[in-house]
Amino acid sequence: MAVAAIAAVLSAGAQPQVLKNAEDLMKKKAPATEVVTAITPAFSDPETSQMAQTYYIPGKAFYNEFDQLFGLKQFDKLPDNGDKQMSDDLLEGYAYMIKALPLDTVTDAKGKVKTKHSKDIVATVTGHVSDLNTAAVTYWGLQEYKNAYKAWDIFMDLYETEPFAATLAKSAPHDTVMGEVAYNQALAAWQADMLPESLKAFDRAKAKGYNKKQMYDYALAVANGANNQDAVFTWASEAHAAYPEDPTYLGFIINTYLQSKEFDKAFATINKAIDADPSNAQYYLIKGILYDNQDKKAEAKEAFAKAISLDPENTGALTQYGAALCQEAYALSDQAPTTPEESLQFYNNKIRPLFLEAAEYLEKAWKLDMDKTDTNNQEALRYLENIYYNLQDEAKQADVVARKAY
């Protein structure tokens, strides 16, 4: 017999022995990692790589290990990092079992379909379904957000995917619970910087009936971070319909129109909102920003002034109005006479008053928002620094620089 033929025969006999050795370790409740080490050659061997048993054995080993640790936990004897190990066992065990399941269907010579491990796979996986939720919470506490997302994803999928769903049908949580789980899953994905997955989970939560305002706010933040303008528009539109009292959502809608240069739609949307609620200062602020984007400075300034008249403490309107006054002053500077005497008179009569008035509005905006680092706050300080420079007020300019640093 040729050497190659002898090697092939020996190899053919060796691989089933690998499975047997690994199975013996699994039945003896050896550590799951030992079982994986023993069975690893079977993963790449053509004879065994497509056998359900190859994946069922390590899958069962991980679930066995989980059960052993769970028992220790009941007697407060769980070793350090035991909760983390239990969570890892669930994810590893599921990964192997879900790979074994489609390989377990065998058709005999008479055409009869037989399965050897499927019943136990389904029973084992579904028997630990609630543990997946616990595992996700454990991962969250450990800041392992990707694994938290994964555990919650498996948890929800089991209730929606056959053959597991049929077994779990009678014990399926109410949609309110599943919506909460999907919401948490979305947050975990967000923390893991898995933005598309986060949006998908938010959609799942919404489909289950979860509709708290915070979900819309977070989903919009994720959609914005992913630069997914279609998602921004969809979430903002639904949020505006659900919570019309919050003009933030309308701002998101209009911003998507701005980005796509659909100005007619943007103005139609804000005008409709103003008609419905003419006393809403934020709507006029948004309209002013729209005008400003089209370089219609006079109309923008008028809209900002209207917003302030409706809400004298609207920091956005105060900042934008102050900025508009600054822009007027800058424009006038370009028109100043060239002779020193006339230039000084022009400055004192026309430019300086604008800077002083702008400073009043911008200082008020900053004081109303002084403990924050949001856009309005920083924009106010940026203009104030330039104003005091132009007014040659070194003390106030230095004060603004200090406030910016803080």
- Please report, for the domain that includes residue 318, its CATH number: 1.25.40
Domain span including residue 344:
312-406
Which of 114-118, 160-164, 299-303 is least confident?
114-118
Tens of pLDDT, residue by residue over 12-25, are 445 679 999 999 99
Please give the average per-residue pLDDT across 100-121, as a whole number: 85
Percent pLDDT > 70 in the chain is: 94
Which of 105-109, 227-231, 285-289 is least confident?
105-109
HEC-encoded secondary structure of the chain: CCHHHHHHHHHHHHHHHHHHHHHHHHHCCCCHHHHHHHHHHHHHCCCCCCCHHHHHHHHHHHHHHHHHHHHHHHCCCCCCCHHHHHHHHHHHHHHHHHHHHHHCEEECCCCCEEECCHHHHHHHHHHCHHHHHHHHHHHHHCCCHHHHHHHHHHHHHHHHCCCHHHHHHHHCCCHHHHHHHHHHHHHHHHHCCCHHHHHHHHHHHHHCCCCCHHHHHHHHHHHHHCCCHHHHHHHHHHHHHHCCCCCHHHHHHHHHHHHCCCHHHHHHHHHHHHHHCCCCHHHHHHHHHHHHHCCCHHHHHHHHHHHHHHCCCCHHHHHHHHHHHHHHHHHHHCCCCCCHHHHHHHHHHHHHHHHHHHHHHHHHHHHHCCCCCCHHHHHHHHHHHHHHHHCCCHHHHHHHHHHHHC
Looking at the domain assignment, is residue 405 inside a domain? yes
pLDDT > 90? residue 11: no
138, 154, 172 — which closes off a domain? 172
Looking at the domain assignment, is residue 111 inside a domain? yes
Looking at the domain assignment, is residue 296 inside a domain? no
Q: Are residues 317 and 168 in the same domain?
A: no
Please give the average per-residue pLDDT across 182-187, as a whole number: 98
151, 172, 193 — which closes off a domain? 172
Looking at the domain assignment, is residue 148 inside a domain? yes
Looking at the domain assignment, is residue 181 inside a domain? no
Please, what is the average pLDDT of the chain? 92
Residue-level pLDDT at 373: 61
172, 206, 231 — which closes off a domain? 172
Top pLDDT among 312 and 112 is at 312
Looking at the domain assignment, is residue 304 inside a domain? no
pLDDT band at 371 (very low <50, low <70, confident <90, very high): low
Looking at the domain assignment, is residue 186 inside a domain? no
Residue-level pLDDT at 108: 67
pLDDT > 90? residue 3: no
pLDDT > 60? residue 118: yes
pLDDT band at 152 (very low <50, low <70, confident <90, very high): very high
pLDDT band at 377 (very low <50, low <70, confident <90, very high): confident
Please give the average per-residue pLDDT across 233-262, as a whole number: 94
Percent pLDDT > 90 in the chain is: 86
Residue-level pLDDT at 263: 93
Instruction: Give the total number of structural domains in the chain.
Output: 2
Residue-level pLDDT at 404: 86
pLDDT > 60? residue 5: no
Looking at the domain assignment, is residue 301 inside a domain? no
Please give the average per-residue pLDDT across 123-140, as a whole number: 98
Which of 49-58, 96-105, 332-341, 370-379 is least confident?
370-379
